[in-house]
Amino acid sequence: MSLLSVHRPVAPPGADARARPSARRWVGWLLGGGWVAQFVLRLWLYRYHAGPVANPDEVGYLLAARLLAGGPGGDYSGSTFYQGGYALLLVPAFWLASDPGTVYRLIVGIGSAVAAAAFPLAYLALRSLGMAVRPALLLAFAAGASPSLLAFSGLALVDAVLPTLLLGWLITLYDLAHRGSMRASALAGALAGFMAATHMRGYVVFAVWALALAGLAVTRRIAPKAAFTGAIVGGMTALAGAVLNARLAADLYPGGARNLSGLLVDRLTGFDGQSWALAGAAGQIWYLVVATWGLAGVGLVAAAVTAVRRGAALAHRVTSAALLTITLGTAYASSAALPDEHRVGNYAYGRYLAFVALAWTLAGLVALLRARRTVVPGLVLGTVALAAATGGGAALYAGDRLHRYNFIAFDFPEVIFLSGVRDRLDMATASWTAVALLACFAVAALTPHRVRGLLTVGALVAVNAAFAVHIAPQAPPNPDPGRLPQPPPGRVALDNRIHWRLWVQVAYRVSWTELERFDGNRQAVPHGVCSTVLPPAATPPPGWRAAGSRPEWTLWTSPHCPPGRTPG
């Protein structure tokens, strides 16, 4: 069984629309209206978000975007390096507003708009897999509200845009392998190069792109001009991203960033490190399967067969092999480079593979809907076996650390939804619930042809809507203006003894100047600053006045600076 064998041969996507201009118009209107609906859904889900919460990641990207927009940067030395490709997309928000709260709301809109664009791209992907127009529209819209596209779209995280970028890249790679299009080669190269500039996961995509392009060129599946175009565009885009990241590293990380590459090398060259990497990768695959209600498992099984089956079409084989390699490579490399932070997410984590979840969901849907009835039980059993093997392997390696280590609810939105347990990882309940949902999709796939599509869409809409309600805020949070220091205009300094969760927030809230940090154990408050944030027990400079305090901080202002309105 392969992805090729589960759909009937059809005309190339768009051929029927070219023949019927009216059909093309109504499809275009439906795609546009669907994008608006997906966009509004995300704005509703994140209507109360007015500032970064997933730190230090969000503030790392925000400071980079603010610096690229011509504003002040900050000192993020010692932290993970947050690449500049995604920050480029946020720059317009800093051009349009200066208030940090307003800027963040604009960024929620940017992320929501890009994430909503996954719907029309999902439609194109389903059409390329041979699905008719109407079921492709319905399934793409339902899949466009998948958890991986909702959980991060309202945050200032690269995860808000990566799923859409990857799906676009897969479509262009398919088009290149199918038609040898030079335009597709250039666009695929540009997308791969841009993703390499956004996150380390993009390096995996770029490496797979280089291998796929070389393979297609060597086997003469594409013209040399198309291969050359893709290589040049991809290489130049990646090079521009490297230059951008080098500038950000020098400006925002003057003391150096956390050395994840060194940790990666150490892990890959030792038995203990390899055990850690493989177990963590298994935990990520398990999370991917259960977080897509089992559909990614179906897609993985079907794509593995397609990639090695000689009778499959070249475009399907290339795309399946590329997506498999990206998924496994990302899971392995990200796990190997992940520091041991004594949290449960070290052993079962969904965020790093969330960017491939939509693609696997679509592949699983197509496999189930187009498979022969005798094949559907095999797909389900293969998925159950995959989830059991990966989840069991991760749990066996982690042992009691799954219960002793810190459980961070932000790491497990889908698992909490499936298990109903908010304070610990319940792998068994989440797994069985995902299997039950997959059984519902399988039953829908076994019904008569005229209703199976509608039943599948209905099941997917129901579970995705339930998840959306699960993560939706119940009421606006109580305002707490004193939670963070609100320094007056002028230079601001912060003692390094202040907890990092506070200083990263202040670094973003102080939008008119770069927050200056100093070691209060060894240094005095920098000369010329107008305000400083110190631990409560610290002694302020003589004559300074306390302008606010909490158990973890005190804000002091200098009498030598003119008073001014506290910035928003």
**Residue 4: per-residue pLDDT:** 32
Rounded CA-CA distance 63/68 in Å is 9
Helix orientation angle between 182-196 and 224-252, rounded to the nearest 10 degrees: 20
pLDDT at 474: 67
Calculate mean pLDDT across residues 222-251: 97
Per-residue confidence (pLDDT) for residue 477, from 0 to 100: 54
Sequence-distant (≥ 6) Cβ neighbours of residue 522 within 8 angstroms? none
Rg (Cα) of the chain, in Å, rounded?
Answer: 25
Section 487-516 average pLDDT: 94
Mean pLDDT, to the nearest integer, of 146-173? 96
Residue 157, pLDDT score: 97
Query: Is the CB of residue 169 less than 8 Å from the CB of residue 204?
Result: no
Which carries the bigger pLDDT value, residue 264 or residue 193?
193
pLDDT of 22? 67
Conformation bin of residue 14: beta by default, left when phi > 0, alpha when psi is -120 to 50? left
Q: What is the dihedral of CA 124, 128, 131, 135, to 10 degrees?
A: -10
What's the mean pLDDT in 518-523?
92
SS3 524: coil
DSSP character string of 309-347? -TTS-HHHHHHHHHHHHHHHHHHHHHHHT----SBGGGT
Let me know if 472 is exposed, middle or buried by CB neighbors in 10 A (0-12, 13-18, 19+). middle
Please list the residues that pair with 493 across neighbouring strands.
Answer: 516, 532
pLDDT of residue 259: 83
Produce one character per residue of 326-341: b if its CB has 16 or more CB atoms within 10 Å, e if not: bbbbbbbbbbbbbeee
Helix (H) or strand (E) holding 122: helix 118-128
pLDDT recorded at residue 9: 37
Q: Are 374 and 450 in contact (CB under 8 A)?
A: no
Whether the pLDDT of residue 370 is over 80: the answer is yes
Percent of the chain's residues with pLDDT above 90: 84
Count of alpha carbons within 13 Å of 422, Cβ hemisphere only? 2
Please count the other Cβ atoms lying within 10 Å of the Cβ belonging to residue 388.
14
66 in helix, strand or coil?
Answer: helix
Residue with tokens 């011509």: 70
The whole-chain average pLDDT of the chain stands at 91
Q: What is the DSSP letter of 484?
A: S
Position 169 scores a pLDDT of: 98
Give the pLDDT mean for 429-457.
Answer: 95
Each residue's pLDDT tens digit, 83-136: 999 999 999 999 999 999 999 999 999 999 999 999 999 999 999 988 999 999
What is the CA 529 to chain-centroid distance, rounded? 39
In 3D, which of 84, 59, 89, 85 has the Cα closest to residue 74? 59
- Asked if pLDDT for residue 476 goes beyond 80, the answer is no
Q: Residue range 215-225: average pLDDT?
A: 94
Q: Quick one: average pLDDT of 460-486?
A: 80
Q: At residue 425, what are phi and psi to the nearest 5 degrees? A: -90, 115
109 in Cβ contact with 132 (< 8 Å): no
Question: Are the C-beta atoms of residues 57 and 139 closer than 8 Å to each other?
Answer: no
What is the predicted pLDDT for the residue at 2? 36
Structure tokens at 91: 């720059």
Domain boundaries defined on the chain: 139-151+273-471, 492-557
State pLDDT tens for residues 270-285. 899 999 999 999 999 9
Written as six digits, the tokens of 20 are 């019927």
Instruction: Give the N- to C-terminal CA distance of the chain in Å, as an integer.
Output: 60
Helix (H) / strand (E) containing 204 = helix 200-218
Q: Give the tokens for residue 476.
A: 């606006």
Closest CA to 90 of 80, 100, 81, 78: 100
Residues in contact with 416: Cβ distance below 8 Å, sequence separation at least 6, in sequence order: 409, 422, 470
Contact criterion met (CB below 8 Å) for 296 and 361: yes
CA distance 184 to 188: 6
How far does Cα 125 stand from its chain's mean position? 19
CA distance 348 to 305: 26
What are the two backbone dihedrals, phi and then psi, of residue 553, each rounded to the nearest 5 degrees?
Answer: -160, 160
pLDDT in tens, 284-328: 999 999 999 999 999 999 999 988 887 788 999 999 999 999 999
